[in-house]
Amino acid sequence: METKIVADNTKGQVLAYDGEEQVGLLDFTFKGQVMFINHTEAFKKGMGIGALLVEAANEYAINHKLKVLPICSYAFTWYQRHPQYKDILDEHAGEGVSCQL
């Protein structure tokens, strides 16, 4: 499985592919130096697609020196399970968590 990131100055997506088939997406927006992870969706369950999407978004944020504010509950839970990335989280992480995978 592989991911592709499409982004401009205000928003973007991480797209997951299994061969030619798109199997998931993660939507994010930017406000200043903060990446808001708004929604994560895996089209096939039980394949680790959600984690793959958040990992790719996390790497993008690190490479672009951004803080992350996970609005999506899946992404928020991923960060709770990976405390090694707590320094990348925005100080408001956990407030307003809403969506579900």
Residue 28 in domain: yes
- Express each pLDDT in 10-28 by its tens digit: 999 999 999 999 999 999 9
Domain of 67 in residue numbering reads as: 2-88
Domain contains 100: no
Tally of structural domains, the chain: 1
30: domain CATH number is: 3.40.630.30
Q: Residue 96 falls within a domain, yes or no?
A: no
Q: Is residue 24 part of a domain?
A: yes
Residue 80 located in a structural domain: yes
Q: Is residue 77 part of a domain?
A: yes
Q: Is residue 97 part of a domain?
A: no
Task: Enumerate residues 6+ apart whose C-beta is below 8 A from 53.
Answer: 3, 14, 16, 24, 25, 26, 40, 42
- pLDDT confidence of residue 42: 95
Q: Strand ranges (DSSP E) for 1-101? A: 2-7, 11-18, 21-31, 34-42, 67-70
Reported as a single tens digit per residue, the pLDDT across 24-77 is 999 999 999 999 999 999 999 999 999 999 999 999 999 999 999 999 999 999
Answer whether residue 52 is part of any domain.
yes
In DSSP terms, 47 is beta-bridged to: none
Tokens 């672009």: give the residue: 64
